[in-house]
Amino acid sequence: MTAEEMAILALARTSEITEHYPATRSTMYRRMGLRQRELMTLAAKANPDYYGVCALSNLDSNTATDLNDIIEPVPTPELISLVKIEDPGTSQWAAGTEINIVPAAQKDCELPPRATLRDLVLQGVDTDLVGVTSVEILYSRIAAAFGPFDGDSVLELQAPWDELLVIDLTKHLLGKATRLPQDIQQAAIAALDKEEAPILTAYIDHVTNYAPLTTRFTRRVART
């Protein structure tokens, strides 16, 4: 589904309650983009593999790499789960060695090889990564932001979970509606909240228990 198609669905639902709602498409696209990012961030925290991506990045002479420079077609990182040495170059490390990410103020809390990660800049600690040519980063991707003319952009959130974007946009439009009695507005938004809750719960359950292959490593999370 495209952003414009989702906007039409939300407008149709809003028009069942009132005709006095904002109809500026650019703000609708932005709202959907922000909500999609929020939902994908929740998914990354529940299961980093669900929107998982693997990317390679070269280190510069200062044993650093700016992950903000990762651009299309490789998605932008949201939540990094693992960093490994891809090409050890002239260093002492073997390919595939995990790099321990440490706080800048507590760099000795892990054994080498170590690196700090601040504002998506990966920087080797001391001489730990000297000679390393490139690293492999495993991370959850963040959704692309929508601009005012991105109505043709395809949403990353697939059915049936894209209904969460329709519901959220409908609530947003009703909240901005003029000449709508407050009691009707509140009742309509409350009804949408009630509709949204089980879909959101099902989405998080789906993400949490997702595994790309049916193996003995398939995630099974006990629920209380």
Q: Check whether 212 has a pLDDT greater than 80.
A: no
| pLDDT tens by residue, 194-209 | 999 999 999 999 999 9
Q: Check whether 224 has a pLDDT greater than 60.
A: no
Contact 131, 58 (CB under 8 A): no
Least confident range of 5-9, 89-93, 198-202, 214-218: 214-218
Q: Is 123 helix (H, G, I), strand (E, B) or coil?
A: strand
For residues 88 and 41, what is the distance between their CA atoms, to the nearest angstrom? 32
Q: Quick one: pLDDT band at residue 219, thresholds 50, 70, 90?
A: very low
| pLDDT tens by residue, 109-134 | 999 999 999 988 999 999 999 999 99
pLDDT at 218: 43
Q: Check whether 221 has a pLDDT greater than 60.
A: no
Instruction: List strands edge to edge, sheet with 64-66.
Output: 64-66, 121-124, 114-118, 100-101
Q: Quick one: pLDDT band at residue 213, thresholds 50, 70, 90?
A: low
Q: Check whether 222 has a pLDDT greater than 60.
A: no
pLDDT at 145: 83
Average pLDDT score, the chain: 90
pLDDT at 143: 84
For residues 136 and 95, what is the distance between their CA atoms, to the nearest angstrom? 10
For residues 216 and 221, what is the distance between their CA atoms, to the nearest angstrom? 14
Looking at the chain, the whole-number percentage of residues with pLDDT higher than 70 is 92
Peptide bond into 113 cis (omega under 30): yes
Q: Specify the pairing of strand 114-118 against strand 100-101.
A: parallel
| pLDDT tens by residue, 42-85 | 999 999 999 988 888 899 988 888 887 776 667 778 888 899 99
Q: What is 165-181 written as a DSSP string?
A: HHHHHHHHHHHH-SS--
pLDDT at 72: 60
Q: Quick one: pLDDT band at residue 217, thresholds 50, 70, 90?
A: very low
Strand ranges (DSSP E) for 2-132?
52-58, 64-66, 77-87, 100-101, 114-118, 121-124
pLDDT at 216: 46
